[in-house]
Amino acid sequence: MKNISIKSYHPAGFMLRYQKLIHDEMIPYQYHVLKDEIKGVEKSGAIENFINAAKALKGEEHGDFYGMVFQDSDVAKWIEAASYSIAVFHDREIEEKIDEVVDIVAAAQDSDGYLDTRFTVLQNDRRWQNLLEAHELYCAGHMMEAACAYYEATGKRKLLDVMLKNAEHIYNHFISEKAEGYPGHPEVELALMKLYYLTGNKHCLELAKHFIDCRGEDPHYYEKEIKNRNWYIWGNNPSNYEYQQSDMPLRKLSDAKGHAVRAAYLYSGMKDVANETDDKELSDACRRLWESITQKRMYITGGIGSTCHGEAFSADYDLPSDTVYAETCASIALMMFAQRMLKDDINGEYADVMETAFYNTVLAGIQTDGKEFFYVNPLEAVPGISEVAQTQRHIRLTRFGWHACACCPPNAARLISSIGKYAYGENDDTVFCNLYAAGEVSFDNGMKVICSTEYPYSGNIKYSVTGSGNLSVRIPGWSRKYEISKNGAGIKAAFEKGYVTVKVNDGDEISLTLDISPRYVYASEKVPALSGKAAVCAGPLVYCFEGVDNKGDVLSLYIDTEKSPSLNGYDPSLLGGTRTMTVPGFRREAQTALYSDKAPEMAKTELFGIPYSLWANRGRNQMRVWIPVK
């Protein structure tokens, strides 16, 4: 039973709050950042690069390329996010801004279909010579996704035609001309599949499958590539096979490894190809990789990539809280992988992980004002050590206004703006509620559902149905109990693999009550960093403890797990509106000596927690997710 994309989603409640933040603040802000019109933040140069590339193609005087080799992708992700947003808010002003940017992008495309500003501006004679580092295919992939989103939102073909032409150029190079190689940074695979689903262009499917099939067949490709050129960008090690997911054919993979964002994008593309071609061997590899991530290499917050060395997976159960990387983009990519797994196998565990990543790491990447961002998402932060110690210089205590490597802000914007595609799915006679997203959903199968809920701060969800068919609703693994009713009367619904399915007719109302009472969570004894500690969760939310709520110090706090934590009432004035947590515990007396043979005194106290996604909005202070247990 397939679970495919929906027709439309118009948000309400919690999702509307965040989609309005994207629409009202992030999209306008990022537009001006990309045009270098905001003082005091890192220069982008991204729009200017396209303008300079167009001038270079005309033989006109032009400026230099500025920024990272993948700077083009910032523009692509902004177009994609803005496109999803105007599909909801019908904002003519933003649509005109997208049109303006699309015109600038289109003008930078060479006559043969090639589109990459760095090489057009600086090194047009070096195209496709450095797949290891150059990100040409990565940038192309993001612009393909942008083209699909803009066409779906407006029906305008300009960018879609540009990227179909670009896809043909790539097809000619790698398929018709039989050029060797595969993307250094995977992403184009899933993007080509999006183009294929939208247009039916078989070359896109063939090209995506080609990149999947050839990757790792020759693990030494990048070593051979580097011998054929005398230049480099960063000096990446071509022999670091695991880092670049090229150590073996993809169908043989079992362990998630290497750069976490690249890996999850790659696995998403693998699953798309597997789903479309009924490739069981490739699907089985995806399942093994899923289990590797979620059972051995994922943080409680849905973060992945535990080391700053290569922004990568490290080893099973190596999940330190203080030196973690957990890039925002990695959790976004994990959500994409989960979504693809869910399309082929209606299984609540995929949506559980998707939900965890969204409500915790992804949302933590954004300041409540929508203008500052996290790249790295630690589970512990301590002023004087974080940002200072050699092993923790990547851990920030406050978000940044922009970043030289600004992949995360527009990535978060496009994810949140398209959350309906993750929250809901459908097939011929069934609609699937994967996430509890308030608002109105229209399905291609003719059904419509209005979801009313204050989730994630309440476990009460109501669905009002128009049309007839099946309504299949996920029951999350964390909910100890649930109740479901139809038109006010309790029912027993068929339960399978984390979903309950109810036959519905026009006018029916289905009510679901989940148990969001707070709970202690303990890590496996195999995770050495978390021995003797517990975390506190309520529903999908992981809670953290900041110094600002706990007398300036969380390092001396212990949890008393013999007593139950409690959720406090919703406070609309705190951090844009949230529910805090009160946890019984102890505070250890201060110790002046570095070491002492005197046992410290313990005093009873209460710990006050907030959702992890909202930390670092009130200045620099301590933060912990995992607290020692007494």
Give me the catalytic one of 148, 286, 329, 407.
Answer: 407
**Torsion sign, CA atoms 594, 599, 605, 608:** positive
Burial of 590 (0-12, 13-18, 19+ CB in 10 A): exposed
d(C-alpha 117, C-alpha 48), whole Å: 10
Provide the b/e sequence for 284-307 (b: ≥16 CB within 10 Å). Answer: ebbeebbebbbebbbbbbbbbbbb
Q: Are 482 and 529 contacting, i.e. CB atoms less than 8 angstroms apart?
A: no
Give me the catalytic one of 133, 311, 380, 426.
Answer: 311
DSSP line for 434-454: -S---EEEE-TTS-EEEEEE-
Q: Are 372 and 402 contacting, i.e. CB atoms less than 8 angstroms apart?
A: no
Among candidate residues 523, 530, 551, 550, the one with its CA nearest the CA of residue 322: 530
- Cα separation values, 145 from 312, 413, 414, Å: 25, 14, 10
- Number of residues that this document lists for the chain: 630
d(C-alpha 46, C-alpha 66), whole Å: 7
Residues paired with 535 in a beta bridge: 521
Among candidate residues 437, 436, 421, 438, the one with its CA nearest the CA of residue 145: 421
Cis peptide leading into residue 456 (ω within 30°): yes
311 is catalytic: yes
Pairing of the two strands 627-628 and 533-538 = antiparallel
A 10 A CB-CB count for 226 gives 20
Q: Where are the alpha helices (DSSP H) in 200-319?
A: 202-214, 221-227, 260-277, 280-296
Among candidate residues 289, 244, 246, 295, the one with its CA nearest the CA of residue 268: 289
d(C-alpha 358, C-alpha 350), whole Å: 12
- All residues at 6 or more sequence positions from 73 whose CB lies less than 8 Å from its CB, including other chains: 135, 138, 139, 142, 143, 407
Q: Which residues are part of the catalytic machinery? A: 311, 407
